[in-house]
């Protein structure tokens, strides 16, 4: 599983604000362990930043002008870099975002299992 550092930052914020710093550290250790065993990968995103910004620019007027955030745009860029149309997310707005891989739509997990 590829995890964007942007998503890790969002996850940390959500867990810290909802459950506290201790629980956020538990999640961080879980991810760290899975990175160590190569079940998860946290890639550097600098080389994908231009693509992510272009994706975000393409959706700037979506959702009533709210657009999509950089975390979501980076997920689109990373999906293209890893040549997949599969994204693990609970964000239903990905139904309106198109992959850069030539696929017609993203397959969203766990919803599309």
pLDDT value of residue 13: 97
- pLDDT higher than 90, residue 63: no
3-state secondary structure 24-47: HHHHHHHHHHHHHCCCCECCCCHH
Give the pLDDT confidence of 26-40 residue by residue, as tens digits.
Answer: 999 999 999 999 999
pLDDT value of residue 98: 95
Would you kindly state where each structural domain of the chain is located, as residue ranges? Answer: 5-36, 46-109
Tokens 């198109």 -> residue: 98
Of the two residues 90 and 13, the one the predictor is more confident about is: 13
Distance CA 86, CA 100 (A): 12
Q: How many residues does the chain have?
A: 113
Closest by Cα among 79, 87, 10, 84 to 51: 79
pLDDT value of residue 56: 96
Closest by Cα among 59, 110, 74, 63 to 2: 74
Global pTM reads 0.91
pLDDT over 70, % of the chain? 100
Distance CA 80, CA 4 (A): 13
- Rounded mean pLDDT, 58-84: 93
């Amino acid at each position: 599983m590829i995890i964007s550092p942007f998503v890790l930052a969002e996850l940390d914020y959500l867990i810290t604000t909802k459950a506290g710093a201790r629980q956020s550290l538990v999640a961080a250790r879980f991810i760290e362990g899975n990175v160590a065993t190569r079940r998860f990968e946290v890639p550097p995103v600098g080389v994908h930043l231009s693509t992510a910004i272009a994706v975000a620019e393409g959706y700037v007027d979506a959702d009533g002008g709210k657009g999509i955030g950089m975390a979501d745009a980076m997920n689109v860029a990373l999906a293209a870099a890893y040549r997949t149309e599969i994204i693990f997310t609970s964000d239903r707005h990905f139904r309106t975002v198109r992959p850069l891989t030539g696929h017609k739509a993203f397959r969203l997990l766990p919803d599309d299992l």
